[in-house]
């Protein structure tokens, strides 16, 4: 069987190869939208290990929109350091808190256009919040997703925006939510940005990059 031509099998195989139990149910309750939004903004241009530490620190001090809105921007920048663009993110996060409290009744909107209108929130962040917090099918294309899809040859795209559209065509909608998590883990453990572990990869038989 050519797993390349069966999207569900490909995702299941990828999930199993990284020791995950298979496709997670897209129907499980979503994570807290505020936490997902803050964590995703912190993660931009920031290494995974740093994102984890910084997100915990920020959410401990500013555990709600109300607290985020009143924390001094210098203090927030200090909490965000050494995440990428920590000064800019401090300003953006405070503006987001103010806007959401003023215009959205203190709620994170489950709407792509509304999310993308917030400072520092682009398509990738909006898609991640929709899928992980609200379980609304969306594909979040980060560097791992873009790289792996193109290496394998299941898409041929020049930008994450193109990748998002191409992956939405390739994978059926019910796979969009688990896709990001599985691709990211696979990209961290096997299909590394540099020196991918092709010799131990289950896709080496047909992956065009392995050749």
Applying CB under 6 A, the residues found at the interface with ligand SF4 are: 151-152, 190-191, 196-198, 201, 203-204, 207, 209-210
CB of 18 or CB of 136, closer to ligand SF4: 18
Integer Cα distance of 12 and 9 in angstroms: 5
Integer Cα distance of 25 and 175 in angstroms: 9
Report, in Å, the least distance between residue 186 CB and ligand SF4.
8
CB of 85 or CB of 209, closer to ligand SF4: 209
Cβ atoms of 43 and 188 within 8 Å: the answer is no
Cβ atoms of 188 and 47 within 8 Å: the answer is no
CB of 31 or CB of 192, closer to ligand SF4: 192
Integer Cα distance of 118 and 141 in angstroms: 19
Report, in Å, the least distance between residue 102 CB and ligand SF4.
46
Residue linked to tokens 């920031």: 46
Instruction: Supply 149's token pair.
Output: 């899809």
Report, in Å, the least distance between residue 189 CB and ligand SF4.
10
Cβ atoms of 111 and 128 within 8 Å: the answer is no
Report, in Å, the least distance between residue 208 CB and ligand SF4.
8
Cα–Cα distances (Å) from 41 to 96, 120, 195, in that order, read 11, 7, 28
Report, in Å, the least distance between residue 145 CB and ligand SF4.
12
Cβ atoms of 179 and 149 within 8 Å: the answer is no
CB of 127 or CB of 190, closer to ligand SF4: 190
CB of 8 or CB of 81, closer to ligand SF4: 8
């Amino acid at each position: 069987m050519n797993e390349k031509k069966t999207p569900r099998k490909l995702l299941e195989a990828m999930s199993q190869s990284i020791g995950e139990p298979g496709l997670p149910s897209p129907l499980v309750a979503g994570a807290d939208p505020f936490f997902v939004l803050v964590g995703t903004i912190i993660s931009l241009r920031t290494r995974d290990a740093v994102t984890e530490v910084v997100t915990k620190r920020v959410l401990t001090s500013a555990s709600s929109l109300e607290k985020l809105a009143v924390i001094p921007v210098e203090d927030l920048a200090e909490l965000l350091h050494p995440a990428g663009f920590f000064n800019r993110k401090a300003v953006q996060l405070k503006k987001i808190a103010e806007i959401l409290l003023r215009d959205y009744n203190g709620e994170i909107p489950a709407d792509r256009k509304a999310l993308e209108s917030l400072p520092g929130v682009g398509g990738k962040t909006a898609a991640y919040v929709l899928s992980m917090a609200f379980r609304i099918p969306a594909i979040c294309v980060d560097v791992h997703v873009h790289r792996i899809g193109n290496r394998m040859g299941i898409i041929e795209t020049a930008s994450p925006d193109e990748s998002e559209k191409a992956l939405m065509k390739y994978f059926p909608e019910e796979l969009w939510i688990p896709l990001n998590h599985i691709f990211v883990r696979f990209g961290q453990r096997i299909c590394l940005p540099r020196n991918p572990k092709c010799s131990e990869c289950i896709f080496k038989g047909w992956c065009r990059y392995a050749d």
